[in-house]
Amino acid sequence: MKRTVTHLADGRELIYFDSDDTVVRVEQDRRELPPPPPTSEIRYDPILDEWVAIAAHRQTRTFLPPTDECPLCPSTPDRSSEVPAYDYDVAVFENRFPSFSHRSGSLAAVSGLTEVTPGHGRCEVVCFTSDHNSSFAALTPERVRLVMEAWADRTAELSALDDVEQVFCFENRGEAIGVTLHHPHGQIYAYPFVTPRTRRMLSSARSYEGGNLFADVLAAERAAGERIVAQNEHWTAFVPAAARWPYEVHLYPNRQVPDLPALSNEERDAFGPVYLELLRRFDGLFGFPMPYISAWHQAPVRLDRDLSYLHLQLFSTQRAPGKLKYLAGSESAMGVFINDVRPEQATQQLREVAL
């Protein structure tokens, strides 16, 4: 693998990850761009003990452009995009419309009990392929391995930033999920705080009186086998017994590690085949590309790393052909999920998909 660092016309960082060590990246961004926006602000909600980011500049971000105007496709002699190269394997760059960044800005005066601070951190875009019409499920295991290297690289580098407390790698796929760019890509958020979901999971792990809570859940699922969808020597994928989403799978390495950089070469090699199988099963459920969110749960940078257990959560809002799961009153207002599909039924449906 070859890693090449360069910069876009407005100063944002761009990193190429290439399988071919002989590739030379000399292309320059030919655009005239305004300076990147200043950082957002984060406001503390004392009622829920959570931080909320206010990033008004994101209202102007690119929204479902036509294919010939896609900002993630390679540049051409006639058109410059966010990626100056005319072709690439995997490209990572700072988001032009970030929720968090290291660039300073002024803060608004806010009355009441709400604490307001700069939304320091970083947001990056990860382009999985230069092919606009492809998808993660269509990648080769070798390309998935390269994406894994990019995720691990960015997690390690972003974790070293002073203001970053947690790094989140994820992919949103499909307009039903809220995607605004169709090109196969994911994102990375480097948060200036530990997220509410992670804090809650680690609180449960801290109060658990057995061994490691995550390891014990994985061991119980492997022993029962009832909800396992796919597995190999290094990874196990299962539908959680208390799944919140109609189709939801958790993918764990069989060895406890805190984050992506901690995975061995063998574990990184083994990830692609099992994950691609999961995506093909999702796409085969209803005969069309399944909208989904794929979310890596990693340890915080500085807290409870011994309690944490890296795992991937893959889930869809699609509950049936033509029907979506909406977060309505109970889910949105009270945080109580009501699932329309029994986890065991979902497991059986996923297992029965012809590959």
234 carries a ligand binding annotation? no
Q: Are 221 and 249 in contact (CB under 8 A)?
A: no
Q: Are 86 and 23 in contact (CB under 8 A)?
A: no
- Sign (positive or negative) of CA dihedral 249, 253, 259, 261: negative
Torsions phi, psi for 142 (to 5 deg)? -65, -40
Question: Bridge partners of 166?
Answer: 191
Cα–Cα nearest to 268, from 146, 126, 138, 156: 146
183 carries a ligand binding annotation? yes
Catalytic site residue from 185, 250, 297, 311: 185
- Sign (positive or negative) of CA dihedral 58, 60, 63, 67: negative
Calculate the dihedral angle through the C-alpha atoms of 266, 14, 188, 125, rounding to the nearest 10 degrees. Answer: -110
Q: Are 339 and 243 in contact (CB under 8 A)?
A: yes
70 carries a ligand binding annotation? yes
Backbone dihedral region for residue 322 (phi beyond 0: left; psi -120 to 50: alpha; all else: beta): left
- Concerning whether 102 is annotated as a catalytic residue, the answer is no
Q: Are 29 and 9 in contact (CB under 8 A)?
A: yes
Torsions phi, psi for 230 (to 5 deg)? -160, 155
Contacts of 148 (CB under 8 A, 6+ apart): 260, 263, 268, 271, 272
- Residue entry with tokens 């692609």: 272
Could you give the CA distance from residue 139 to residue 94 in angstroms, rounded to a whole number?
23
Q: What is the DSSP string of 256-280?
A: --SSGGG--HHHHHHHHHHHHHHHH
Torsions phi, psi for 102 (to 5 deg)? -95, 0
73 carries a ligand binding annotation? yes
Q: In 3-state terms, the chain is what percent helix, strand and coil (to 5)?
A: 25, 25, 50
Give Rg (Cα) of the chain: 21
Annotated binding site: 70, 73, 132, 183
What positions carry a catalytic annotation?
Answer: 185
Annotated binding site for Zn(2+): 70, 73, 132, 183
